[in-house]
């Protein structure tokens, strides 16, 4: 299997990184501040869209400075305990390199702690994660780099990060820069490639260098020459950058028509688009009156969407789109338009994605109960389960009876008790239900024998 070209040709030094010269200067200046001991800003935030070289720059810096490094992904280590265990301990302790060399921080030997996707902290399972990152920065004896796509979301949850970190902004590369990198890689791989195809790959990536390299490798798999005709197998990359650009034009429009037309070519239904607009109105409208008028227009659009679904009359979509685009942007009457760096992904879609597992568990449990309770699954989900869960938490005998009568498994009990399937209460209940079922079976088997014995005794 071929090595991934994104890793094979990852820059080994900051000098090899294409574009983002301003960000590279900030990184070098921050790294130099560590030469005489921990500086005032012990952390650096690399912000920007995916594929712009943030992680490559962090790893290249470690090599340039001869620093060992620890890399962790905040989306995998989501809560306070795991972040402190990995990043917190690593940022305070002395360390050894992979070759066994001891790194003494007192002598200036540093270890770089890289926290990737530091902005990807949402929901109850992430409780304390952002605070743990702040504590790690404050207590660190080593340099820390935070890599984020949505800097606004991270600083909204933890405003202290703004004052504790230096910031370097990575922007998307232009097509010419992407093309030069692709040409270099193709040459090293001894793949002949048509200039027109190179340009198409670069344009299709939208400035995402990682995506462009992946596309090139996919097209070159098993071939030594590529022509413009090979672009037919490279489907149009559906990226959020297109939606981001459309929203930027829409929010800056000054007429209903131009606002509506800005969203014509994006692959989003009005039901999806309204969620993006709703999420980003607070970024675009800071004056309370403007924001109120914008949300009022959005609510009117939602009414049309409701009628569309109810009547199955999709001609109403045009009215909905005009209200959610033109109606929203013309709500700006008092305040000036702020500078928005990046639009946020709808929080509603994130929550729905995270709730997919719990919804499946709820539906499975409701399906087991609906026959016994002589009602619909929806009624069980909405009206019965919340009360039943609250009752059985404090009634062990009823919990055991429900488990046996409805033949619940560990997943059903976990949802009902709002705990994990491996919890002691779930496992104890299942063990008791199994033992009780076995006793009932044995009792049922012996009952006919006892009845026969009694019947025979009456003849004497």
Q: Which CATH number fits domain 175-233: 3.40.50.10800, 1.20.140.10, 3.30.565.10, 1.10.8.60?
A: 1.10.8.60
Nearest partner of 143 among 89, 67, 78, judged by Cα:
67
Same fold, 5-170 and 175-233: no
* ∠ CA 65-67-73, rounded to 5°: 120
Poorest-pLDDT segment among 177-191, 212-226, 434-448: 434-448
What is the distance, to the nearest Å, from the Cα of residue 229 to the centroid of all Cα atoms in its chain?
A: 36
Does 358 have pLDDT greater than 50?
Answer: yes
Task: Tell me how far apart the alpha carbons of residues 324 and 316 are, in angstroms, rounded to a whole number.
Answer: 13
Nearest partner of 147 among 165, 125, 127, judged by Cα:
165
Each domain of the chain, given as residue ranges in start order, spans 5-170, 175-233, 240-353, 357-444
Does 61 have pLDDT greater than 70?
Answer: yes
pTM above 0.75, yes or no: no
- Tell me which DSSP letter residue 225 carries: E
Reported confidence tier of residue 82, pLDDT bands at 50, 70, 90: low
Question: Over the Cα atoms of the chain, what is R_g?
Answer: 30
Q: Do strands 95-96 and 102-103 pair parallel, antiparallel, or not at all (unpaired)?
A: antiparallel
Coil, helix or strand for 133? helix
DSSP string, 25-53: HHHHHHHHTTTTS--S--EEEEEE-TTSS
Encode pLDDT of 94-114 as tens digits: 554 444 444 554 444 678 888
Alpha helices in 374-423 (DSSP H): 377-379, 385-392, 396-406, 410-417
Superfamily of domain 5-170: P-loop containing nucleotide triphosphate hydrolases (3.40.50.300)
Contact, 80 vs 72, CB < 8 A?
no
Does 309 have pLDDT greater than 60?
Answer: yes
Question: How high does pLDDT run on average in the chain?
Answer: 79
């Amino acid at each position: 299997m071929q090595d991934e070209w994104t890793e094979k040709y990852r820059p080994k030094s900051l000098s090899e990184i294409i574009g983002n010269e301003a960000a590279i200067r900030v990184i070098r200046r921050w790294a130099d501040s560590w030469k005489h001991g921990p500086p005032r800003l012990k952390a650096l935030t690399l912000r920007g869209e995916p594929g712009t070289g943030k992680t490559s720059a962090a790893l290249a810096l470690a090599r340039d400075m001869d620093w060992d490094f620890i890399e962790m992904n905040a989306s995998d280590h989501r809560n306070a305990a795991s972040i402190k265990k990995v990043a917190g301990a690593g940022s305070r302790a002395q360390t050894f390199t992979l070759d066994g060399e001891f790194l003494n921080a007192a002598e200036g030997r540093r270890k770089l702690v890289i926290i990737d996707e530091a902005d990807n902290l949402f929901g109850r399972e992430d409780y304390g994660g952002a605070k743990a990152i702040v504590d790690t920065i404050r207590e660190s004896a080593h340099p820390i780099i935070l890599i984020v796509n949505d800097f606004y979301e991270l600083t909204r949850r933890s405003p202290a990060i703004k004052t504790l970190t230096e910031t370097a902004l990575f922007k998307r590369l232009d097509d010419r820069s992407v093309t030069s990198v692709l040409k270099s890689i193709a040459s090293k791989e001894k793949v002949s490639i048509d200039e027109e195809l190179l340009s198409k790959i670069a344009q299709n990536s939208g400035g995402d260098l990682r995506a462009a390299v992946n596309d090139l490798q996919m097209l070159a798999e098993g071939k030594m020459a590529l022509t413009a005709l090979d672009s037919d197998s490279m489907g149009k990359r559906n990226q959020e950058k297109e939606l981001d650009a459309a929203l930027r034009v829409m929010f800056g429009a000054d007429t209903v028509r131009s606002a509506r037309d800005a969203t014509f070519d994006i692959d989003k239904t009005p039901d999806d688009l309204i969620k993006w607009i709703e999420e980003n109105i607070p970024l675009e409208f800071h004056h309370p009156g403007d924001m109120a008028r914008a949300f009022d227009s959005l609510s009117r659009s939602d009414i049309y969407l409701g009628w569309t679904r109810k009547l199955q009359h999709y001609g109403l979509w045009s009215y909905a789109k005009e209200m959610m685009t033109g109606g929203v942007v013309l709500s700006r009457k008092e305040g000036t338009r702020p500078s928005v760096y990046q639009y946020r992904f709808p929080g509603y879609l994130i929550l729905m994605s995270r709730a997919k597992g719990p919804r499946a568990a709820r539906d499975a449990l409701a399906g087991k109960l609906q026959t016994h309770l002589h009602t619909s699954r929806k009624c069980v989900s909405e009206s019965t389960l919340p009360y039943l869960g609250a009752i059985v938490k404090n009634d062990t005998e009823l919990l055991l009876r429900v488990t046996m009568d409805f033949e619940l498994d560990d997943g059903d009990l976990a949802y009902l008790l709002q705990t994990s399937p491996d919890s002691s209460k779930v496992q104890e209940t299942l063990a008791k239900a199994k033992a009780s079922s076995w006793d009932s079976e044995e009792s049922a088997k012996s009952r006919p024998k006892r009845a026969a014995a009694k019947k025979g005794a009456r003849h004497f």
